[in-house]
Amino acid sequence: MLETLSRDEFLQLIALKSDAFDQRQLMGQTAFAFGCRKPAHVGEYLVLDAVAMGLVGMLNAHGLKLEDAADVVLRFWKEWLTLLAKAEREEQPPLFFAVAVQSPGPGGAYDSSLPRRVAFGNANQIVETLYRADESYGVAMIPVHGLLRQLRKNAQLAKPKIVLPERFTIADNEPGYENWWAEIRAYQERAEARLKARAKAKGRRAARAPARKRLVTA
């Protein structure tokens, strides 16, 4: 039930070059579905990974640093997944994934150490939750319907065209919902196991690396 993509399909869907994507991964500027920092399998990505990366890119375009945008998408994955399911079934009113952004300081820099405030829903709900809470913050409002349209447009422009499922989610009142969530949990476990194995292998390589000779001076 979790639709997958090849690496090439995934990169075309999020409109990133391979080198740029690898650099973002190295810098901790990527986020994947279900709060995962790495996909569960090498070279295989979920359609929902493209949604996560699309959110990261759009938040960055609205003022967040890439690493801060990735952190928000990772931490609030259940919220945006629920919002996505709603957006796929309701055209109106427009729904938003919104993050409070501190007004930039000297030189146009944002203070990334401040806690992020996030809201989900229609424009009225965003205003009530974020705008009225603290007027010193701006709000990055990401239209979920717009993100979905952009991903489908990218799929049509891909060579060859990418065939996306009619819907990326299963709603809680639809058949297969419990099985879908069971698959999500299993996927999270595989992704976490891969991440731990990667860290362990990196530690072994570091331990085997010959120590650099130290220059002794009188």
**Is 92 strand, coil or helix?**
coil
- Residue 1 confidence (pLDDT): 75
Range among 131-145, 158-172, 196-210 rated most confident: 158-172
* Closest residue by Cα to residue 102 from 111, 113, 93: 111
Mean pLDDT calculated for residue range 151-176: 96
Residue 166 CB neighbours (<10 A): 5
- Residue 211 confidence (pLDDT): 53
Mean pLDDT calculated for residue range 4-16: 97
Q: Is the pLDDT of residue 215 over 50?
A: no
- Residue 216 confidence (pLDDT): 45
Q: What are the tens digits of pLDDT across the range 18-65?
A: 999 999 999 999 999 999 999 999 999 999 999 999 999 999 998 889
- Residue 135 confidence (pLDDT): 60
Cβ partners under 8 Å of residue 174, min gap 6 = none
Q: What is the pTM of this model?
A: 0.87
Identify residue 74 by its one-letter amino acid code.
L
Q: What are the tens digits of pLDDT across the range 89-127?
A: 998 899 999 998 765 555 555 555 555 688 999 999 888
Lookup: tokens for 157 = 């422009």
Burial of 97 per CB tally in 10 Å (0-12, 13-18, 19+):
buried
Rounded to whole angstroms, how far apart are CA atoms 122 and 115? 23
Task: Give yes or no for a contact between 91 and 104, defined as CB atoms under 8 angstroms apart.
Answer: no
Rounded to whole angstroms, how far apart are CA atoms 99 and 140? 5
200: pLDDT confidence band, cut at 50, 70 and 90? confident
Distance of CA 194 to the CA centre of its chain: 18
- Mean pLDDT (the chain, rounded): 88
Q: What is the dihedral angle through the alpha carbons of 98, 74, 4, 187, rounded to the nearest 10 degrees?
A: -140
